[in-house]
Amino acid sequence: MNSGIRFDSVTVAYDGNVVLDALDLTVEPGEVMALLGPSGSGKTTALRAVAGFVRPVSGRVFLGGRDVTDLPPYRRGVGMVVQQYALFPHMRVEENVAFGLKAQKVAKGEIRGRVAQALDMTGMAAYARRHPRELSGGQQQRVAIARALAIRPGVLLLDEPLSALDARLRSGMLAELARLHRELPDVSILYVTHDQVEALTLADRIAVMDSARLRAYGTPRELYRSPSDEFTASFVGNANLLPVTVGEEGVFFGGRRIKVSGQAPGAADTLCVRPHLVGLGDGPNQLEGRVSEVQWRGATHRLYVDVDGHRVMADVRELKDPPSHGDAVTLHFAPDDAVLLAAGGSHD
């Protein structure tokens, strides 16, 4: 079946409003690509363009190297799972899973086996005779995934598949999706989410969307360790973003000279340091400030420290004797752990 997805300058507009602006993106065969971004940034629209539910005003969509832009959804060989399960309430689980196969006119004898296999893969074999209303939210979502897998798609589209579940179920399902991905090494998965943890956990690569545009893409580690712009830095993980001046004499934050490893982009004006890489006490790149807030988070303390009117967050290992509001503290970070970001990076 088809595998691999390519967006070639895909633009989608509703009533003349461009909601997806010339998207160029390739999902390799067998790759999980997360589309990560705030609500309204165009993620679902991109997914729907692959499924064939919206038609681009320009650009082409390719599946497995084949231009499918003009094909109807049922001829594209993609499986899709949306947030709200969308099971047929009057049909039993097995009928729901068989639905796509019947539509594809798969032989009756084969349907039975494929349904059983899809239910097996999602751990729902024991529930085949139930109706959706007799299942929990997590179980319903498993059935929806089984239904998508039954057609043996080359491409699986997942649109916020976990956001209707509570936090505990979500992390369990996340592990299951990772397992399914291992069991289906040839299936390309496009995974829409606004949740950075889901994207970091599951994706081989992340595409960050912002206002109808692709802002950045790369492996989770690349985007986390060396984000290209402020938007990406703050959307993929927490970030301290400090205003700096960069010149021949070096990098300065307030009057302090800051040591940063690595190259500065053209006109850098922002320094990004992850809160967990900021330490308490003396060290390289020292910052003196006053504690404005302390949050105990179990394994860590999150300190908010006011440094010359700028808020710096530090996530430090749980302290026996944490500082209090108003205390003077010293923070530091290693030159290797800071990244310079280009000026105006968030809205170019």
Q: Which residues bind ligand ADP (CB under 6 A)?
A: 14, 19, 37, 39-45
Q: Where is 256: in which H helix or E strand?
A: strand 256-258
Contacts of 250 (CB under 8 A, 6+ apart): 257, 258, 259
**Left (φ > 0), alpha (ψ -120 to 50) or beta: where does 32 sit?**
beta
Structure tokens at 6: 């390519």
* Shortest CB 51 distance to ligand ADP, Å: 12
* Shortest CB 47 distance to ligand ADP, Å: 8
* Shortest CB 54 distance to ligand ADP, Å: 8
Distance CA(83)–CA(163), nearest Å, equals: 6
Closest to ligand ADP by CB, 43 or 76: 43
* Shortest CB 210 distance to ligand ADP, Å: 10
Closest to ligand ADP by CB, 40 or 281: 40
Helix (H, G, I), strand (E, B) or coil at 325: coil
* Shortest CB 60 distance to ligand ADP, Å: 19
Q: What is the DSSP string of 199-212?
A: HHHH-SEEEEEETT
Closest to ligand ADP by CB, 44 or 96: 44
Distance CA(128)–CA(143), nearest Å, equals: 9
Closest to ligand ADP by CB, 3 or 45: 45
Closest to ligand ADP by CB, 55 or 221: 55
* Shortest CB 159 distance to ligand ADP, Å: 8
By the 8 A CB rule, do 52 and 76 touch? yes
Closest to ligand ADP by CB, 14 or 296: 14
Strand partners, 217: 207
DSSP tally for the chain: helices H, then strands E = 8, 21
